Amino acid sequence: MLREVIHPSGPIVLTSHLLERAGFRHAFSTRIGGVSAPPFDAMNLQSVQANARIAEGEPRDTEASIRENHARFAQAAGLARDAVVVDVSQVHGCTVVAARDAARERVPADAITSARGGHAILIRIADCVPVLLACPRTGAVAAVHAGWRGVVAGIVPAAVDALRAIGADPRDLIAAVGPSISTAHFEIGAEVAGELTRATLGACVAAPGVHAMGIHATAGREPKHHADLVLGVRLQLERAGVEPANIDAEPPCTYADRARFHSFRRDGAQSGRLAALIAPLA
């Protein structure tokens, strides 16, 4: 289960007891403790590159605020303010890159691995599922951004395979799933439900009118499918060989908790970004 930690510099982050016990520095962010002004208040961890691409007239944060937020988040995760933290340009695909390569050039990908002694790594979300993977035996880690497209494409098992390629045994891996949209708030169309079912993840889909997974019908609205992406990620982790007892997957809902989390589905262009960060063992 994730626990809330208040850092002396102000940020409130969430950490996994499984990763903590294994000695991995990591954190899932909240929107609390940063310096950004509304509507991105206060801990907006958007990339400076994506922020700069926002069209004139649309809500945009300042680069100075974003950089200060990242420095505070790094501290809250147990790193130095100026630590090198590697990220990627996320594209909802199935590409996994090594941190040593991504540090040279920011590339399109949705998962990053880092070997023992390597760089800390970070992915961003605003409703999608963030997954942090770690191998206590090898010291290697991975950070995964898993939206429904990435889940269907297999980004989670691809990250497990990438760690296996650098010496990890999936049975040794620890996985922590961070704040993301819950089933009750994740409405999907029939075509997305079909994609998930074809990816052997039909158990994650609730059909219209099926009052399961905490879903309640909204008066006056046509019922829609809903999806449990956290369950989908858990199923893929277990199928990839990760032991169920090593999976920390009871995250809070980004959409439902406006006070603590950004949510693109709830707030659209006025949504900031959350992040998940992990460092390999030294």
Q: For residue 220, what pLDDT is reported?
A: 53
pTM, full prediction: 0.95
**Phi, psi for residue 130 in degrees, rounded to 5:** -90, 135
Measure the N-to-C terminal CA separation of the chain; round to a whole number of Å: 25
Q: For residue 223, what pLDDT is reported?
A: 79
Residue carrying the six token digits 């303010």: 81
Give the DSSP H or E segment for 15. Answer: strand 12-16
Query: What pLDDT band is residue 207 in, cutting at 50, 70 and 90?
Result: confident
Which residues 6+ apart lie within 8 Å of 118 measured at CB?
99, 100, 280
Token pair for 139: 């010291």
Q: Which amino acid is at 136?
A: P
Q: What percent of the chain has pLDDT over 70?
A: 95
CB-CB contact of 66 with 51 (8 Å): yes
For the segment 113-156, what is each residue's pLDDT rounded down to a tens digit? 999 999 999 999 999 999 999 999 999 999 999 999 999 999 99
CB-CB contact of 13 with 77 (8 Å): yes
Query: What pLDDT band is residue 222 in, cutting at 50, 70 and 90?
Result: confident
For the segment 15-63, what is each residue's pLDDT rounded down to a tens digit? 999 999 999 999 999 999 999 999 999 999 999 999 999 999 999 999 9
Task: Quickly list DSSP for 53-111.
Answer: TSPTTS----HHHHHHHHHHHHHHTTS-TT--EE--B--SS--EEEHHHHTTS--B-SE
Measured between alpha carbons, how far is 152 from 199 in angstroms, rounded to an integer? 6
CB-CB contact of 261 with 180 (8 Å): no
pLDDT average, residue stretch 242-270: 97
Which residues 6+ apart lie within 8 Å of 203 measured at CB?
231, 235
- Residue spans of the domains in the chain: they are 2-153+174-181+249-278
> 2-153+174-181+249-278 — its CATH code?
3.60.140.10
Measured between alpha carbons, how far is 117 from 280 in angstroms, rounded to an integer? 6
Measured between alpha carbons, how far is 64 from 86 in angstroms, rounded to an integer? 19
